[in-house]
Amino acid sequence: MSSDQALPHEVKVIGTAALLELEDRACQLSLNQRLDPAWVLENAAPEGTHYLWPAVWNSLPHRPEVPRQLRCELLLTLRSGERVMSLLDMLPNDFDPLPRVTSREEGMQVSRLLDHVPSVREWLLREDKGSSDRL
């Protein structure tokens, strides 16, 4: 894979089981951007639909044994129905076979949501504040 390879121009759609596998693989490889699979299991909607939007190529120069990764913006659907944004580093071979969104309109909706939903960190801070307000 050449260093000047273009980013994929496709948004991928995955279910929670596939997301858990990708997060687990990112943890096993110690990739930089990932969520704890236990957190995903606890908070992601079990039958939820999640989206991966390629953002940048990422590499770990200090770990040459780890291939270059695709850093994706992750639009995650929570059990509450809320959506949050995170980042997920993944190997291109794990990204390529995932199903694509079925229409340009769906991809544009994902883009708009990624621009407006809170990050997982912002959501967690809001949730923590909400629980302390209820005490």
What is the share, in percent, of the chain residues with pLDDT greater than 90?
Answer: 76
Average pLDDT of the residues in 4-24: 92
The pLDDT value recorded for residue 66 is 83
- Helix H or strand E segment including 98: none
Question: Residue 78 carries which DSSP code?
Answer: B
Instruction: Quick: pLDDT tens for 52-103.
Output: 999 999 988 888 888 889 999 999 999 999 999 999 999 999 999 999 999 9
Torsion angle, CA of 18/24/25/31, rounded to 10 degrees? 120
Domains of the chain: which residue ranges? 12-133
The model's pTM is: 0.88
Going from the C-alpha of 3 to that of each of 67, 73, 75, 114, 131, the distances in angstroms are 11, 20, 27, 27, 46
pLDDT value, residue 63 = 84
Given pLDDT bands bounded at 50, 70 and 90, which one contains residue 2? very low
